């Protein structure tokens, strides 16, 4: 017999957005239901951020064996136990799982329902033998790997982020379709762990990042042995008994790439299937559920958060969305999303981190005459020299009057270093605010202060300034 229960808030999807929203709402006194048909923690914990970063760390350790000569240590080819590497990956997931567990969230007083959900109408969802009515709903069902319409490609015989981490045998030759962050991270990781890797992309790799910084990363992964085929059309995929053959076309010439495994990393598809959103009157398209700046759908009491809402697809954005929705629902504040200070990172080695506008985007928005860019290279940083990690640079973009518009860093620890610039953008700072910061020596973080200082170098050491200084020297002390 189906029962109907009433809640203040019903959340569909227990990924980053859903978990953050559920915990906050419940602890603020809202009667909350959380529905999840798969694993708690969603894509990030189980098949995304966490396992990929664990795999990348194993790959980094392996690479250190090969690159130890400059430190006076005899290099050697590492003996990689690929299955043991995956043990490490899953041990990291297991260590984090309790934070996202059903038991923990039930401890907050949340009714956690492990089943699928679909809307009956705008105020009711069906989950198992229960009907849930709520004042507010949030759809946070995330996204999945998109499968491009390539002739001959069988999705059942291809890997995505959802199952590549389950692979216990090292691929002899991994072919990756897609040169975005996921594709490039997995390419470097598998290359360093002993696989041959080929990346195929219709455009340039990492299209959303600054091309000058991408060039540094591109050079690095090619030096490590990754085969990059950019601006390449994929004509056909053949799945054989012993491997994969991909026919590609570039500049009018066809060729083939043969490998043992194929990984699809060519974009994401929002998870809206089976929700019966039409019955709730919620508008959506192939990019996701349509929301306004407050993350409300076409039905104002139904919100959408995270990847499924069609915005930037990052775990930290999903958590940010949860905060926006809590302010709207719990505190009745018309909070809106603002991505001005949104950072994003590709966790390769070196890392590639960005926040705010790229140089090209800033020029497009403000005009070339109103934008100024300065840069500083890691080979001018003493800590980078000590660690033999001198590849990389920082680029800072600001208005002609010094208001910071964005920053990009490629180099070791770039994901950590970008934080100061995210804060600067959040607070509407100017370049001068960064030059006034005291950075500890010797640290990689000094690169931010040096870049900011470079902004003032032309005017500080100009003939005009020297004249002023000369004049001031005539005054009594």
Q: Which residues pair with 408 in a beta bridge?
A: 354, 395
Phi/psi for 221 (5° steps) reads: -75, -30
- Across 13-99, where does the E strand assignment appear? 32-35
Closest CA to 410 of 205, 226, 246: 205
The residue with tokens 């136990």 is: 81
Q: First vs last Cα of the chain: how many Å apart? A: 91
In this predicted structure, what is the pLDDT of residue 459?
65
Q: Given this model, what pLDDT does residue 470 score?
A: 75
Nearest to residue 446, comparing CAs of 460, 434, 455, 456?
A: 434
What are the structure tokens assigned to 438, written together? 């005291």
C-alpha separations of 164 from 51, 186, 253, 261 in Å: 10, 9, 31, 10
For 421, the token pair is 């610039």
The confidence score (pLDDT) of residue 1 equals 58
pLDDT digits (tens, 9 = 90+) for 437-476: 999 999 999 999 999 999 887 765 667 767 777 777 888 8
Cα separation of 267 and 307, whole Å?
A: 12
Amino acid 87: pLDDT: 98
Query: What SS3 state is found at 263?
Result: strand
Bridge partner residues of 394 (DSSP): 376, 409
Q: Which of 80, 78, 89 is nearest to 51 (CA)?
A: 89
Domains of the chain with bracketed CATH:
3-40+101-145+269-329 (3.50.50.60), 155-267 (3.50.50.60), 343-463 (3.30.390.30)
The region, left, alpha or beta by phi > 0 then psi within -120 to 50, assigned to residue 264 is beta
List Cα–Cα distances, 145 to 129, 148, 203, 313, 433, in angstroms.
30, 10, 18, 12, 41
Instruction: Look over the chain and give the mean of its residue pLDDT values, rounded to a whole number.
Output: 95
| pLDDT tens for each residue of 348-365 | 999 999 999 999 999 999
What local confidence, expressed as pLDDT, does residue 474 receive?
80
Q: What is the pLDDT of residue 471?
A: 77
DSSP letter string over 357-397?
A: --HHHHHHHH-GGGEEEEEEEGGG-HHHHHTT----EEEEE
| Other beta carbons within 10 Å of 380 | 14
For the CA atoms of 55, 56, 61, 62, the dihedral, rounded to the nearest 10 degrees, stands at 80
Q: Is the distance from CB of 274 to CB of 281 less than 8 angstroms?
A: no
In angstroms, rounded to a whole number, what is the distance separating the alpha carbons of residues 259 and 231? Answer: 20
CA distance 264 to 283: 28
Question: Quick check: helix, strand or coil at residue 280?
Answer: helix
CA atoms within 13 A on the CB side of 125: 27
Per-residue pLDDT of the chain (477 residues; tens, 9 = 90+): 567 899 999 999 999 999 999 999 999 999 999 999 999 999 999 999 999 999 999 999 999 999 999 999 999 999 999 999 999 999 999 999 999 999 999 999 999 999 999 999 999 999 999 999 999 999 999 999 999 999 999 999 999 999 999 999 999 999 999 999 999 999 999 999 999 999 999 999 999 999 999 999 999 999 999 999 999 999 999 999 989 999 999 999 999 999 999 999 999 999 999 999 999 999 999 999 999 999 999 999 999 999 999 999 999 999 999 999 999 999 999 999 999 999 999 999 999 999 999 999 999 999 999 999 999 999 999 999 999 999 999 999 999 999 999 999 999 999 999 999 999 999 999 999 999 999 999 999 999 999 999 988 776 566 776 777 777 788 887
Helix, strand, coil abundance in the chain, percent, nearest 5: 40, 25, 35
Q: Are 394 and 448 in contact (CB under 8 A)?
A: yes
**Beta-ladder partners of 131:** 4, 126
In this prediction, residue 204 carries a pLDDT of 96
Instruction: Report how far residue 52's alpha carbon sits from residue 56's, in angstroms, rounded to the nearest whole number.
Output: 6
Q: What is the dihedral of CA 85, 91, 92, 93, to 10 degrees?
A: 110
279 burial type by CB count under 10 A (0-12 exposed, 13-18 middle, 19+ buried): middle
pLDDT of residue 477: 74
Q: What pLDDT sits at residue 465? A: 67
Q: Is the pTM of this model over 0.85?
A: yes
Please confirm whether the linkage preceding 327 is cis (ω < 30° from 0): no
């Amino acid at each position: 017999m189906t029962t109907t229960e009433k809640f203040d808030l019903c959340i569909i999807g227990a990924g980053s957005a859903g978990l953050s929203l559920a915990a906050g709402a419940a602890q603020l006194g809202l009667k909350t239901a959380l529905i999840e048909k798969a694993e708690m923690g969603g894509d990030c914990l189980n098949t995304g951020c966490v396992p990929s970063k664990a795999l990348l760390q194993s790959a980094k350790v392996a690479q250190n064996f090969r690159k130890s000569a400059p430190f006076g240590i005899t290099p050697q080819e590492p003996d990689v136990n690929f299955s043991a590497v995956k043990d490490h990956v899953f041990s990291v997931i297991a260590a984090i799982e309790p934070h996202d567990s059903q038991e923990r969230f039930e401890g907050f007083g949340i009714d956690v329902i492990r089943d699928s959900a679909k809307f009956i109408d705008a105020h009711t969802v069906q989950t198992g033998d229960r009907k849930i009515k709520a004042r507010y709903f949030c759809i946070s069902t995330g996204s999945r790997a998109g499968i491009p319409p390539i002739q001959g490609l069988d999705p059942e015989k291809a890997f995505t982020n959802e199952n590549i981490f389950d692979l216990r045998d090292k691929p002899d030759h991994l072919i990756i379709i897609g040169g975005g962050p996921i594709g490039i991270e997995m390419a470097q990781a598998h290359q360093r762990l002993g696989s041959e890797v080929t990346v195929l992309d219709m455009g340039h790799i990492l299209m959303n990042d600054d091309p000058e910084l991408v060039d540094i990363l591109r050079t690095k992964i090619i030096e490590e042995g990754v085969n990059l085929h950019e601006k390449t059309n994929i004509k056909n995929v053949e799945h054989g008994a012993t491997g994969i053959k991909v026919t590609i076309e570039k500049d009018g010439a066809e060729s083939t790439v043969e490998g043992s495994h194929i990984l699809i990393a060519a974009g994401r598809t929002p998870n809206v299937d089976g929700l019966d959103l039409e019955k709730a009157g919620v508008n959506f398209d192939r990019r996701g559920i349509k929301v306004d700046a407050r993350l409300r759908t076409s039905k104002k009491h139904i919100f959408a958060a995270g990847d499924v809402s069609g915005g930037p697809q990052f775990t930290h954005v999903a958590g940010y969305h949860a905060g926006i929705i809590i302010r709207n629902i719990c505190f009745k504040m018309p909070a809106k999303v603002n991505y001005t200070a949104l950072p994003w990172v590709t966790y390769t080695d070196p890392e590639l981190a960005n926040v705010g506008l790229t140089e090209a985007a800033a020029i497009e928005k403000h005009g070339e005459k109103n934008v100024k860019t300065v840069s500083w290279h890691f080979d001018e940083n003493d800590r980078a020299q000590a660690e033999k990690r001198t590849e990389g640079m920082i680029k800072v973009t600001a208005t002609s009057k010094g208001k910071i518009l964005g920053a990009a860093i490629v180099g070791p620890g770039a994901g950590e270093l970008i934080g100061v610039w995210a804060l600067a953008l959040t607070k509407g700072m100017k370049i001068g605010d960064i030059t006034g910061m005291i950075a500890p020596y010797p640290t990689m973080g000094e690169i931010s202060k040096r870049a900011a200082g470079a902004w003032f170098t032309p005017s500080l050491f100009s003939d005009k300034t020297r004249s002023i200084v000369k004049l001031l020297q005539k005054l009594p002390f």
